[in-house]
A and B are shown apart, each in its own frame.
Chain A
Amino acid sequence: MIIDGLNPAFILIVGGLLVPLLYGTLRKAFMLALPLLGIMQLWGLPYGEMGLIQIFDFQLVTLRLDQLSFIFTLIFFIAAFLGVLYALHVKDTIQHVAALVYSGAAIGAALAGDLLTLFVYWELTAIASVFLIWARRTQHAFRVGMRYLIIQIGSGVILLAGVVLHVSATHSLAFNHIGLEAPGGWLIFIAFGIKCAFPLLHNWLQDAYPEATVTGTVILSAFTTKLAVYALARGFAGTELLIYIGATMTAFPIFYAVIENDLRRVLAYSLNNQLGFMVVGIGIGTELALNGTAAHAFCHILYKALLFMSMGAVLLRAGTVKGSELGGLYKSMPWTTGFCIIGAASISAFPLFSGFVSKSLILTAVAVEHHWFVWLVLLFASAGVFHHSGIKIPYFAFFAHDSGIRCQEAPRNMLIAMGLTAFLCLFIGMVPSALYALLPYEVDYAPYTTAHVITQLQLLMFSALAFTILMRTGLYPPELRSVNIDSDWFYRKLLPAGIQRIIAIGSYYQPRLSARRQRRIAAFIDELYRHHGPEGRFARTWPTGSMVLWVAILLASCLLFYYQ
Chain B
Amino acid sequence: MTASTNAPNSQPPVSPPKVPPKTADTSYWLDQPRNVEKIVHALYAICAFLVLLDLFYHKHAHFAFENWFGFYAGYGFFMCVALVLIAKWMRIFLKRNEDYYDH
Structural contact, A465 and B50, CB atoms closer than 8 A: no
Q: How many residues of B contact A (CB 8 A)?
A: 68
Enumerate B42-85 residues with CB–CB distance to A below 8 Å: 43-44, 46-47, 50-51, 53-54, 57-60, 62-63, 66, 70, 72-81, 83-85
**Contacts known (A259-B95, A454-B50); A315 close to B13, Cβ less than 8 A:** yes
Of all chain A residues, which has the CB nearest B50?
A458
Whether the Cβ atoms of B10 and A255 lie closer than 8 Å is no
Which chain A residues in 90-146 approach chain B with CB under 8 Å?
90-92, 95, 131, 134-142, 145
Q: Is A294 close to B, CB under 8 A?
A: no
Nearest-neighbour CB distance to chain B for A423, whole angstroms, equals 26
Query: Whole-angstrom distance between the alpha carbons of A454 and B58 in the complex?
Result: 11
A331 within 8 A of B: yes
A316 close to B23 (CB less than 8 A): no
Contacts of B75 in A (CB 8 A): 376, 379-380, 383, 459
A466 to B44, CA, bound (A): 11
Q: Within the complex, what minimum Cβ distance (angstroms) separates A332 from chain B?
A: 6
- B3 lies within 8 A of A461 (CB): no
- In the complex, the chain B residue whose C-beta lies closest to that of A141 is B3
Give the residue of B14, B23, B84, B102 whose beta carbon is less than 8 angstroms from that of A317: B14
Instruction: Give A470-503 as 1s and 0s: 1 = Cβ < 8 Å from B's Cβ atoms.
Output: 1010011100111111100000110000000000
Question: What is the chain A residue whose CB lies nearest that of B30?
Answer: A399
Q: Which of A95, A137, A405, A463 contacts B80 (CB 8 A)?
A: A463
Contact B47 A462 (CB under 8 A): yes
Does A557 lie at the interface of the complex (its beta carbon under 8 Å from any beta carbon of B)?
Answer: no
- Given A318-B16, A461-B50, A484-B91, A137:B84 Cβ within 8 A: no
Q: Does A384 contact B (CB under 8 A)?
A: yes
- Contact for A458 among B23, B76, B80, B100, CB less than 8 A: B76
Tell me, yes or no, whether A450 is within 8 Å of chain B by CB.
Answer: yes
If A387-B83, A458-B73, A483-B101 touch, whether A139 touches B16 (CB-CB below 8 Å) is no
Report how far A463 CA is from B9 CA in the complex, Å.
Answer: 40
Establish whether residues B60 and A90, one from each chain, have CB atoms under 8 Å apart when the complex forms: no
Is A433 an interface position by the 8 A CB rule? no
Q: CA separation between A256 and B75, bound complex, in Å?
A: 21
Closest 3 CB pairs of A and B: A134-B3, A319-B13, A367-B62
Query: What would be 24 A-B contacts, judged by CB atoms less than 8 Å apart?
Result: A90-B10, A90-B11, A95-B10, A142-B3, A142-B4, A315-B13, A330-B30, A368-B62, A380-B75, A384-B80, A387-B84, A406-B20, A451-B60, A455-B72, A458-B51, A462-B76, A462-B80, A463-B76, A467-B80, A467-B84, A477-B91, A482-B95, A484-B90, A492-B101
Q: Footprint of B on A, CB under 8 Å?
A: 90-92, 95, 131, 134-142, 145, 213-215, 254-256, 258-259, 315-320, 330-332, 364, 367-368, 370, 372, 375-376, 379-380, 383-384, 387, 399, 402, 405-408, 449-451, 454-470, 472, 475-477, 480-486, 492-493
Chain B residues proximal to chain A, CB less than 8 Å: 1-11, 13-20, 23-24, 26, 28, 30-31, 40, 43-44, 46-47, 50-51, 53-54, 57-60, 62-63, 66, 70, 72-81, 83-88, 90-91, 94-98, 100-102
